[in-house]
Amino acid sequence: MVKTPAASLARSAVLLLILFAPSRAFASLGGSSASVDADRVHAEGALMRIVRTDAYALHEMRSAAGTMVREYVNASGTVFAVAWDGPWLPDLRQVLGDHFDEYQAAMGTARRARRSRGAIGIDGPGLVVQMTGHPRAFSGRAYVPALLPQGVSLDSIK
């Protein structure tokens, strides 16, 4: 196949689209591995490292505001888990992607008389979110149970 300037231009355009498209289009959790880069660009962050195991690839980035975000990509290129820690929350709308609305809704229903005010534990069939911390120190993780690769311990998502 002959590379034409037009094809090259089209490829560049696609790349630009990936980098600068509205973040929701490249939502992280449950999204494609392209969303990892979108997240990094959105956070104006720096890619710190990529760790590959047999079961997944871990992309670790540091946001400009100093929060570490780790995204776990399975063999089919889907982000199945995210974890974070740092002085400020990451942009949860960006990091949770299409699951953010579900997260907000779950936080709403958690407002019962005897609710936890100290640790967040959302344990739904389609989304698990666990968070702890206080202003200047937050950490947490979120994953989609159905997307977890076989044999991956939850202890490794942190």
Partner 1 sequence: MIRLLLPTFILAAAITPQCGSSSTTTPGSTTSSVQNFQAISVNAGPANNYFNGAFTTVTVCVPGQSSCQTIDGVLVDTGSSGLRVLASALTLALPQQADTTGAPVVECLAFLDGFTWGPVQTADIKLGGEQASAVPLQVIGGPGAPAIPSACSSNGAAEQTLDALGANGILGVGLFRQDCGPACVGVGSSNPGVYYACPASGCKITAQSLVRQVQNPVWLFPVDNNGVVIQLPAVATGGALTSTGMMVFGIGTQNDNPLGAAKVLTVDANGNLSTTYGSQTYAGSYLDSGSNGIFFLDTKTTGLPVCTDSNDFYCPLTLQAQSATIRGVNGATSAVTFNVGNLDALNGRFTAFSEVAGPNPGSFAWGLSFFFGRTIYTAIEGQSTSGGVGPYFAF
Tell me which of 11, 76, 121, 146 binds partner 1, using CB under 8 A. Answer: 121
Q: Give the tokens for residue 10.
A: 């089209």
Site string for partner 1, 55-94 (x = CB under 8 A): ---------xxx------------------x-xxx-xxxx
Residues 143, 81 contacting (CB under 8 angstroms): yes
For partner 1, the closer of residues 5 and 135 by Cβ is 135
Stretch that binds partner 1, among 9-17, 49-57, 69-77, 101-109 (CB under 8 A): 101-109
Q: Could you tell me the CA-to-CA distances from 118 to 7, 115, 132 in Å, in that order?
A: 53, 9, 7
* Burial grade of 43 (CB within 10 A; 0-12, 13-18, 19 or more): buried
Interacting span for partner 1 (CB under 8 A) from 3-11, 49-57, 72-80, 124-132: 124-132
For 38, what's the count of Cα atoms within 13 Å in the CB-facing half-sphere? 27
**Residue tagged 């289009």 (tokens):** 25
In the chain, the amino acid numbered 54 is D
Q: Does 3 bind partner 1 (CB under 8 A)?
A: no
Residue ranges in contact with partner 1 by CB under 8 A:
43-44, 64-66, 85, 87-89, 91-94, 100, 103-104, 107-108, 110-121, 123, 130-139, 141, 154, 158
